[in-house]
Structure 1
């Protein structure tokens, strides 16, 4: 499954998907007493095994269910040049046989006990998870730790699975105008950083992936010291620690990897447009994006302000864009904004819309731009800001009812440069954001002269440029992870999840 920048786990910002803002955490050095964080009557533990594997335990005793996740600090943005798609390819290969278990045995065991499993790849991480009853947890750890180092990678395994991912690209990307445009927009927005390359990979490079590529990738990145284990559910830290030591603790430490330092973006100097006209498109739409700092890269307070800006501009039916364009002016069928806050490096902020009836894209885009200019020059009201803060904190409180959301939040945070302590501090930092900070990030980052706009047009619209007045451009592309679509319409389609 593919989750590309801004789509799968994050919804708006770094921690919106979970309610763990209520934690109080005491830091612990590696290999010593675990950090513990009170979450109501729960405690979250964070500790390391002797081989360097980080372990997070999130107790939730309301139901006899446990979510077991292993997150590897390797995503598509870490791939060797010319090997695009190998991170996602290897996600597939992890479901093949090992020296101890035949292919499919792990999945069969999960199905027999009524559990579920899946995996996903993003720019910054690859994760595998199972949801089972607590008595099956050690079995999950045994299977998962086994495939961490004991996969059988022969040409007979590599070839057929490569055909699978090639077909996946054909059906999910090349068969979707939304996905094709999304890829090209992303490749235009990021000029130098590997986030410009789709998570699934480029077809001409995927076709050449081979056994030596897979073996080198596996030996380098699939090791306990490059992984985070997250266990959430009807468990306690002592039991999980004992099981983890018995299973993962026996896996030899892998090579020490250098810090993940990637090429950085040059200064953005131009406004760029990307247009895709396709007979399969029935309703035109547009999206406009900017490169902005993620939580891991932002100056203090900026990422939180960007989170709240996305909420105020396009976070729901009460947002500025929805009220101004959908409710009052009635020129849009949907409009919104989202900020992909959880990323190892710089990320994106996006606004989008689809016109209603005979409204042209130019008119709709101008109205969206006007709302952004208004925030950047006049700011937001105290009432707007307070409502946005309350919505964010409430969403986390509600999310604590979903143990997989909590596990996802921890895993995505820890694999993109965050810490358990940041989870504790996040609600206070959100509450501390001022209206002037929101205005400042809008003025600093959402400048029209450095934006990238993608236009998705039906053939009829392209034949009548006087109606849409959309400037011509090259066909473009993008990959994302879950953003924050408006309530009446999904955000412009990114590359869809792919198994």
Structure 2
């Protein structure tokens, strides 16, 4: 199982961003969307190129929805979902998928928890049966809880405690978010994870795991009518859960200062820095701002043709790495970041200064229409390749619907990207990327100074 931490500043969170829509697909592959009587949203994405189907269930709950003092319960429950029901003992789903030659997995983020299987089309009904059964039918005993809690504690030790980068990321994120639960690690704080119990798990399960808090996405060699029939026969028999209040989390106060977090660690060979700001996302931004931020990340550091890469890596040779990322797919305001590491005898301070100069130049001088058009073309080409995999498409639609957006929003995205102007892009850079309010992390070897 995998964990997706609250902020994906490296730009690798491509598949969970809402902006991954392309030109409207041809009619034979048209996406269909409907809602069952018990509130389950269903999206069907036909793709008949290969006899394979991806079946994903997205729950509209993540680590940012956890009760105070119960950090890690969302990810913990992701593990518990594989522990079996009265109908299907623990391990039977995994064994069934493996016997089919398919694969399955799950992941937790700050905003969602998702489960998926990739199997032959004739196994779709079976996958729906498994997922519908465990949606409300898990058997949670003290023995199951205790054993799996030990597993997630060990996972934290391996993924976080043993990694200098992960430890710094936790401290950095907790500094960036002064009030919002995005500052709490998705895997949880160790001292709170140790206290999680069966009552916590049962309460979380009862509140959030229900058809009216979930999105089903089926992509692949299927017909929408068939999926609807199968969904009604399986998920449609699951009782609707309690109506949930709106997902209103604590908001961030206005930041008036900059901040930095530094970790010196003997495991670090190459120093690096990451600088970030809290910015609006597609769900929370003013019209056009999220699209402009997406393109700003591409222009600054999204590819080998970006300003950072060309100026700071290729031309000056100052940096070995230099990039930018925007986590526009989050439910609440999230992160825009720039990051870099030095090359050869150059210092981290030189890299940071060179990248700051490029950002200042963009804010001051703006960009040309030609440069913006090239960035739009690069962005769209990347998305075309992303669309080539059916699992990518399932993630695109599932993540959007599970975080408050719509199928129409996804389909209209290309036109909104095309409409972004140089003036809009310059305006969001000036408005949100103020050095006086940036939070920066430095990962350094023991003998290296803070810069």
TM-score normalised to structure 1 length = 0.88
Structure-2 residue corresponding to 1:477:
none
Picking from 207, 216, 233, the partner of 1:220 is 207
Higher deviation after alignment, 318-327 or 65-74: 318-327
Asked which structure has the greater RCO (Cα within 8 Å, sep 6+), the reply is 1
Distance 2:382 2:261 in 1: 34
Distance 1:249 1:450 in 2: 49
Compared with structure 1, are the counterparts of its residues 141 and 227 closer, same or farther at alpha carbon in structure 2 (3 Å cutoff)?
Answer: same
Aligned length in residues:
448
Match status 1:416 vs 2:403 = yes
Q: Counterparts of 1:58-457 in structure 2 under 5 Å?
A: 58-457=45-444
User: How far is the alpha carbon of 1:318 from its aligned partner?
Assistant: 1.1
User: How far is the alpha carbon of 1:41 from its aligned partner?
Assistant: 3.1
Distance 1:5 1:163 in 2: 23
Compared with structure 1, are the counterparts of its residues 9 and 120 closer, same or farther at alpha carbon in structure 2 (3 Å cutoff)?
Answer: farther
Q: Secondary structure at the match of 2:30?
A: strand
Structure-2 residue corresponding to 1:2:
3
Stretches of structure 2 that go unaligned for 5 or more consecutive residues are none
Compared with structure 1, are the counterparts of its residues 351 and 357 closer, same or farther at alpha carbon in structure 2 (3 Å cutoff)?
Answer: same
Distance 2:206 2:159 in 1: 30
Q: Secondary structure at the match of 2:447?
A: helix
1:9 and 1:412 in contact (8 A); partners too = no
User: How far is the alpha carbon of 1:13 from its aligned partner?
Assistant: 8.1
User: How far is the alpha carbon of 1:396 from its aligned partner?
Assistant: 2.1
2:107 and 2:115 in contact (8 A); partners too = yes
User: How far is the alpha carbon of 1:6 from its aligned partner?
Assistant: 4.1
2:48 and 2:222 in contact (8 A); partners too = yes
Distance 2:33 2:27 in 1: 17
Stretches of structure 1 that go unaligned for 5 or more consecutive residues are 24-37, 471-499
Q: Secondary structure at the match of 1:70?
A: strand
**What whole-Å deviation, never above 9, does each CA across 1:107-153 have from its counterpart, x for those lacking one?**
11111111110000000000000000000000000001000011010
Picking from 434, 442, 447, the partner of 1:460 is 447
Distance 1:149 1:390 in 2: 45
User: How far is the alpha carbon of 1:14 from its aligned partner?
Assistant: 3.0
2:58 and 2:398 in contact (8 A); partners too = yes
1:72 and 1:415 in contact (8 A); partners too = yes
Q: Secondary structure at the match of 1:270?
A: coil
Distance 2:445 2:144 in 1: 42
2:318 and 2:351 in contact (8 A); partners too = yes
User: How far is the alpha carbon of 1:93 from its aligned partner?
Assistant: 0.2
User: How far is the alpha carbon of 1:389 from its aligned partner?
Assistant: 0.6
